[in-house]
Structure 1
Amino acid sequence: MNALFTDRADAGRQLADALLQDYGRHGNLLVLGLPRGGVPVAYEVAARLHAPLDVLVVRKLGAPMNREYAMGAIAPGGITILKQDVVCALNIRQEAIAQVIEIESAELDRRVDAYRGDRPPPVVADRTIIVVDDGLATGSTMQAAIMAIRQQDPALIVAAVPVASSEAHQLIRREADRIVCLATPAIFRAVGLWYVSFPQTSDAQVTELLARSRSA
């Protein structure tokens, strides 16, 4: 199994190349990165497409016995997605689900405040939105993001990721108006396996990249 990308910046540049022909210098374009890891990828996309960059905070709902295993996701606007097959298979009680949602909702609010501060949310209506993450394992967070964006009447939603599992790709292809994905490996396992360097992205890095994009 060979890595496809050096790091998130490299993945973003490769993804931008795939988007450039259709969306380069698009007059009404907005790039939204999914924090934290999607923002370094989205930064490169926005820079290459000469588009504004912002964030859409979404949170994975990790199963109580394994927080890395997604049982769903939440997004602003009251969006909650639960994977009922996972809930049933793991016999997760409603009380446990409610507790996870409460914890992740608080973290979502904290990150919105940290990344946005006093800045108003971006205008989404009637714009082409490219929503970017560093990869899709289950697709739950991207699905929640698309649902949140859809509430705001965009002209077009393009999901853009460097790599995805085949299952997540099929899910998001149904949810988004278009999907741009550079690779869907037959054996996926985890997003980070397709990067040479895949450290956690910090809040400070997210806010720095947003500020740098606004300055540019």
Structure 2
Amino acid sequence: MKFRNRAEAGKILSKELKAFRGKDVIVLAIPRGGVPVGFEIARDFRAPLDLVMSKKIGAPFNPDFAIGAVTWNGAVMLDQAMVDRWQISREYIGGEARRIISEMKATLDDLRVGLGNFPKLYGRTVFIVDDGIVTGATMIAAVEAVRDQGPEEVVIATPVMPAELVEELKYVAPLVYVQAPEDFEAVGEYYQEFETLSDEQVKEYLLLANSSDLVK
């Protein structure tokens, strides 16, 4: 199944989240691709939309090889087996984590212009939304960082993900998805339109989603 675009994927995914209607919901999208998906869910639930960021920490010998992940608020999760196997130093990990956190904070400050302080999550139902999941590492990091802020529950929501990750992510948090193919290759393969969003588009989604007309 191919979604026409992220908006269609968000509308379909929102229907799958019906069990959470009536809750005090806030939608946190992983930028940039998760924002249009999260926008449709936020609009359907008449809930606020904001951002959550996490990025992988790449190995020194190959930046594309993840040895862990770090979140915008400073939480660091490591694949300790890989760190030990490759004897990666604490100095390298600490330096990379600080660099990535600084970059994420700068990005969030720019994208969240006009939104004010980050919303309180205590006691709320938090949907963490992305347009697709590939390895699950950054999503798991985001869940743990959000959970530290005391929400009633954290829900992972995505239109598409590999079948092999379903059980692993269900163990991390309640998981809602539309499809989980066995032969998953790349997120973009499941969208007819899969353009890269600009910063301005992300800002527009956020401001519109949080307007008084859409949020209850």
TM-score category, normalised to shorter length: 0.7 to 0.9
How far residue 98 of structure 1 moved from its aligned partner, in angstroms, is 3.7
CA contact (8 A) 1:164 1:185 kept: yes
Change (3 A) 1:184 1:27: closer
CA contact (8 A) 2:36 2:205 kept: yes
Q: TM-score, normalization: structure 2?
A: 0.87
1:157 maps onto 2:154 in alignment: yes
Gaps of 5+ in 2: none
Partner residue in 1 for 2:25: 29
Moved more, 141-150 or 201-210: 201-210
Superposition CA RMSD, Å: 2.1
Partner residue in 2 for 1:12: 10
Gaps of 5+ in 1: none
**C-alpha distance in structure 2 between counterparts of 1:130 and 1:213, whole Å:** 15
Q: TM-score, normalization: structure 1?
A: 0.87
How far residue 134 of structure 1 moved from its aligned partner, in angstroms, is 0.9
Aligned residues: 211
Change (3 A) 1:17 1:80: same
How far residue 199 of structure 1 moved from its aligned partner, in angstroms, is 2.1
Partner residue in 2 for 1:52: 48
**CA shift digits 1:159-182 (9 cap, x unpaired):** 100111234323321111x11011
Correspondence list, 1:120-199, <5 A: 120-176=117-173, 178-199=174-195
**C-alpha distance in structure 2 between counterparts of 1:69 and 1:38, whole Å:** 22
CA contact (8 A) 1:57 1:111 kept: no
Partner residue in 2 for 1:61: 57
